Copies of this chain bind each other. A is one copy, B any other.
Amino acid sequence: MEISYQPIGIIHSPFTDIEDMPIQPTGASGIRGTIEVFPEFAEGLKDLEGFSHIILLYHFHRVQESKLVVTPFMDSQPHGVFATRAPKRPNPIGLSIVKLLSIEQNILHIENVDIIDGTPLLDIKPYVPEFDQHRADRVGWLEQAKGKVHSKKSNSRFR
């Protein structure tokens, strides 16, 4: 079974190289970018400006291969790829939650962007705390590593 999607837009950010990218929006605090939603999908943006945060699903277009076991940015130990947010996944779909600043026609201005410039966008969903906030009492291997997220940058391991 093959599932086919088409980009609904392109994400623009200051990050043109995989090196020196923040690895999550928490490490991309204040970084601004824009989303160009293709005009044929602009009608789908109606009422989105009422939400302070949005969920972006996008295609990791710079990823050339998938791996089932990876050593993530924040650790020196290998983990199963589904226990990480690493890009080299069987289906390389990225997920970021960003702040929505404003919408002008088909252009969205966003903040806290951890996405490489030119990334194809697959979907936008409103971020709804009632759906998306959960009291997670265990975060596995990240328990030790998570303090490092803010400062850590990506490197060439994921090329």
Contacts and interface: CB of A to CB of B under 8 A. Distances in A.
Contacts of A139: 50-52, 126-129
Given A48-B82, A51-B139, A91 B6 contact: yes
A18 interface: no
Contacts of A82: 37, 41, 44-45, 48, 123-126
B131 A24 contact: yes
Interface string A108-138: 0000000000001011111111111110111
A123 B28 CA distance: 24
A93 B5 contact: yes
Interface in A27-66: 37, 41, 43-53, 55, 57, 59
A72 to B, nearest CB: 10
A26 interface: yes
B4 A3 contact: yes
Contacts of A159: none
A7 B50 CA distance: 34
Interface in A75-104: 78-85, 89-91, 93, 95, 97, 99
